[in-house]
Amino acid sequence: MSNVNPVPVRAAMVSTLLAFGTLVPASSQAAPASVPMSVLKQCAEIKEPLKRLACYDQVAERPAAADAALPKESFGLYTEEHPATPRVESLITGKVISIGISSSGRSTVTLEGNQVWELDSADPVLASGDVVTVKRGTLGSFILTTPAGRLHRVHRSR
């Protein structure tokens, strides 16, 4: 057996718990509303899980949840199982602000809004002030079309 007096140890534990705020005197707490045991037993006797949960929510004065589709009810509904993906632009049109060269030596085009696109090859006809179109290609590629109708594969660097 231990020779430690339990009273000072208990007092030390209580003061530690009070210091950390985990133990609050009963007088400072609001008295919880008591629910008769008979009401809880009535809820417990309900066999259907959703109705039983609704009964407990009502006893706890909890607002009813929004009617969400249950997995059984949405099973097989394509639109429920596969929500629509956000729509992305298929093309943009912008005015060329400047033409430069990237660190890899390729031509770059800066559009309004500071979009910088790197071209696959130089275009001697393209000039600042031209309005170009960038559209989505296949497999994540992008195609820049110049006013002269020239096409360039591009990728956005900024």
Read off the pLDDT of residues 92-139 as tens digits, 9 standing for 90 and up.
999 999 999 999 999 999 999 999 999 999 999 999 999 999 999 999
Given a cut of 80, is residue 74 above it in pLDDT? no
Segment 49-54 shows an average pLDDT of 88
Predicted confidence band at 38 (pLDDT cuts at 50, 70, 90)? Answer: confident
On average, the pLDDT of the chain sits at: 79
| pLDDT score, position 102 | 94
Task: Give the phi and the psi of residue 26 in degrees, each rounded to 5.
Answer: -65, -30
Predicted confidence band at 32 (pLDDT cuts at 50, 70, 90)? Answer: low
Given a cut of 70, is residue 66 above it in pLDDT? no
The conformational region for residue 126 under phi > 0 = left, psi -120 to 50 = alpha, else beta, is: beta
Residues 6+ apart with CB under 8 A from 9: none
Residues 6+ apart with CB under 8 A from 155: 117, 118, 141, 142
For the segment 143-157, what is each residue's pLDDT rounded down to a tens digit? Answer: 999 999 999 999 999
Q: Which two tokens stand for residue 24?
A: 């609050």
Residue 27 half-sphere exposure, CB side, CA atoms within 13 Å?
Answer: 0
Displacement of CA 17 from its chain's centroid (Å) = 38
Predicted confidence band at 3 (pLDDT cuts at 50, 70, 90)? Answer: low
Query: Model pTM?
Result: 0.48
| pLDDT score, position 127 | 95
